[in-house]
Amino acid sequence: MKNIIIITGASSGIGQEFALQIDTAFSNIDEIWLIARREERLAEVAKVMEHATRLIPMDVTDEYAMDDLEMLLEEEQVVVRMLINAAGFGLMGEFDDIPLEEQTDMLLTNCEALTKLTHITLPYMTRGSRIIQMASAAAFLPQPGFAIYAATKSYVLSFSRALNRELAYRGIYVTAVCPGPVNTEFFEVAEQYGKTPMVKKLTMITSEKCVKAALRASYYKKSMVVPGISMKTSLLATKLLPHELVLSITSLWK
Ligand SMILES: NC(=O)c1ccc[n+]([C@@H]2O[C@H](COP(=O)([O-])OP(=O)(O)OC[C@H]3O[C@@H](n4cnc5c(N)ncnc54)[C@H](OP(=O)(O)O)[C@@H]3O)[C@@H](O)[C@H]2O)c1
């Protein structure tokens, strides 16, 4: 039996940082599987890693590629010690200004693919296995100007918290990670139809800090982690204040 860790979105940003931190911090892992579309970027990440890696260049929204991955898991006789779903993207802008196909692609990537990957890897998990799902602080509240993205992340947070409870009897722990802005290539994609409000940019953290908090939370079996003091404060505000009031305040940022 081969002990493996699977990381999606490993070609960039937070997923790449997960690969690098896990590579130095984890032992007793035979292979780290790195998933994203850009193979050359995955190869660059793998080149600086000590662990054996398997590069799986695939579009997570491609159902045939997902079927192939499911077969590979079966063939390789693996134990999945950890699954990290970091593949995802967001598009800022008004709902009716963004082409429908790109909006629905956000649903497929952030929600459907994450759900399928979680489902196909679960049979290969054992007591002590971990799942880390990249949600976002955008999950806490509807976000005009980032509407579909925020809704996808609410899905990820809700699904992950429920799954964590369902899997507790098997000793498998799910952690939803909810950072605010993280300094990655995310914004190159996100700002095609809209701009990030300046106030949000002021709260930006590094991917190193985000991933460190995520791995620590997963180690301690936390169902959710909010890296950074600004987003912890935001979460508190959404718990204490009426949501319509918070929405009126955040609408002033545009
Ligand atoms: N950065 C932030 O401010 C922030 C804040 C909160 C949450 N998040 C979440 O954190 C996760 C990682 O984002 P990031 O900041 O690291 O952004 P990033 O640097 O743009 O990385 C996104 C990763 O997802 C992969 N990806 C996207 N669509 C894919 C697809 N269809 N198939 C396979 N891989 C795909 C990309 O690889 P390829 O392009 O090579 O396929 C890339 O590796 C996302 O879920 C994002 O929503 C980010």
Using CB atoms within 10 A of its CB, is residue 221 exposed (0-12), middle (13-18) or buried (19+)?
Answer: middle
Using CB atoms within 10 A of its CB, is residue 238 exposed (0-12), middle (13-18) or buried (19+)?
Answer: middle
Strands (E), 159-247: 173-177, 224-225
Residue bearing the bigger pLDDT, 237 or 32: 32
Predicted pLDDT at 246: 84
Q: Is 220 a catalytic residue?
A: no
Give the nearest ligand 1 atom to 105 CA. 31
Alpha carbon distance 103, 105 (integer Å): 5
Say whether pTM exceeds 0.75.
yes
pLDDT band with cut points at 50, 70 and 90 for residue 254: low
Percent of the chain beyond pLDDT 90?
86
Per-residue pLDDT of 72-118, as tens digits, reads 999 999 999 999 999 999 999 999 999 999 999 999 999 999 999 99
Residue with tokens 């006789």: 77
CA 23 from chain center: how many Å? 18
- For residues 184 and 232, the answer to whether their CB atoms sit within 8 Å is no
Domain range for residue 247?
2-251
Per-residue pLDDT of 14-34, as tens digits, reads 999 999 999 999 999 999 999
At 105, which CATH number? 3.40.50.720
Q: What is the mean pLDDT of the chain?
A: 95
Ligand 1, residues at Cβ distance < 6 Å = 9, 11-15, 36-38, 41, 59-61, 86-90, 109, 134, 136, 179, 181-182, 184-186, 189
Q: Point out the catalytic residue in the list 149, 155, 193, 220.
A: 149
- In angstroms and rounded to an integer, the radius of gyration of the C-alpha atoms of the chain is 18
Number of structural domains in the chain: 1
The best mutation among 20, 39, 45, 89 to test binding of ligand 1, ranked by most ligand atoms within 8 Å of the C-beta, falls on: 89
Beta bridge mates, 78: 2
